Amino acid sequence: MSVEAIKIIRGIDGAIVDAQLHSGLRAVDLTLIERQWSPWRQDIVRRLSERGVDPSIWPQSLHWDWFAKLRYLQLLAVEVCAIDAEGEWQAIVMMETVTRRCQLPAQAGKHLVYVDYVETAPWNWPIPELGLSRRFKGLGHILFRYVIRRSFELGYKGRIGLVALPQAEAFYGTTLGMAQIPATSPHDLDYFELSEAKAMELIIQEN
């Protein structure tokens, strides 16, 4: 595992907080993440249920279980990166770096980094129905800058692809400027892909 010192933003007051960006996470790390996050998920489900909040607007990763994703670490093409701050894991991304290919016509068939899963800790979810706001914000941006950087390191020129949960579509499409390819079935999720040109724009903005 490699570790990079970074800064993150505390949600309540905008203060800058020291954090670490870890790459090359192992099974023991994903196990700890699930142990830290699972009680929060369970409490959120309980409180949403007690308040009668429509399940259609519940956070869409509430059912995720990082224990169940341990098997993916056996694949050589899978890499995991996460953010740690104040003794807790704050966000995580799991990606494939070898097997996936682009779908956008301008770069069809070329290699890309495919984001399998990305999630922030439950205490970083804004849930207005429970009066909850993010403990830390901007974590998704940090993880995706890392994924873009990893794509460049692999010679993929920043190309990234993923299938998005509906609640995250605005972040990928509007905030990051990824191209959206609508699902072919009403039961499927839309696919998003970052072009080489847009990846370069995001890298320039970062610098």
Sheet strands (E) in the chain: 2-10, 16-23, 78-85, 88-96, 113-120, 136-137, 160-163, 179-181, 191-194
pLDDT mean across residues, the chain: 94
Q: Which residue has the higher pLDDT, 114 or 202?
A: 114
Amino acid identity of residue 108, one-letter, is: A
Q: Global pTM?
A: 0.94
Q: Band of the pLDDT at 44, cuts 50, 70, 90?
A: very high
**Homologous superfamily, domain 2-206:** Gcn5-related N-acetyltransferase (GNAT) (3.40.630.30)
Q: Band of the pLDDT at 75, cuts 50, 70, 90?
A: confident
Output the CA angle 98-146-1, nearest 5 degrees: 75
The label of the residue with tokens 């966000």 reads: 91
End-to-end CA separation in angstroms for the chain: 25
Q: Which residue has the higher pLDDT, 59 or 71?
A: 59
**Tens-digit pLDDT profile for residues 158-198:** 999 999 999 999 999 999 999 999 987 777 899 999 999 99
Which pLDDT score, from 0 to 100, does residue 140 have?
94
Q: Where are the alpha helices (DSSP H) in 2-26?
A: none
**Per-position b or e across 168-205, b if 16+ CB within 10 A of its CB:** beebbeeebebbeeeeeeeeebbbbbbbbebbeebeee
Closest CA to 30 of 59, 72, 62: 72
Tokens linked to 172: 């990928």
**Average pLDDT value for residue range 58-68:** 94
Which pLDDT score, from 0 to 100, does residue 150 have?
96
Q: Band of the pLDDT at 94, cuts 50, 70, 90?
A: very high
User: In a 3-state reduction of DSSP, which class is residue 157?
Assistant: coil
Tokens linked to 88: 């807790």
Output the CA angle 173-174-177, nearest 5 degrees: 65
Closest CA to 151 of 141, 142, 140, 161: 161
122 has a pLDDT exceeding 90: yes
Which pLDDT score, from 0 to 100, does residue 115 have?
97
Which pLDDT score, from 0 to 100, does residue 207 have?
63
**Average pLDDT value for residue range 87-104:** 96
Domain chopping of the chain, boundaries: 2-206
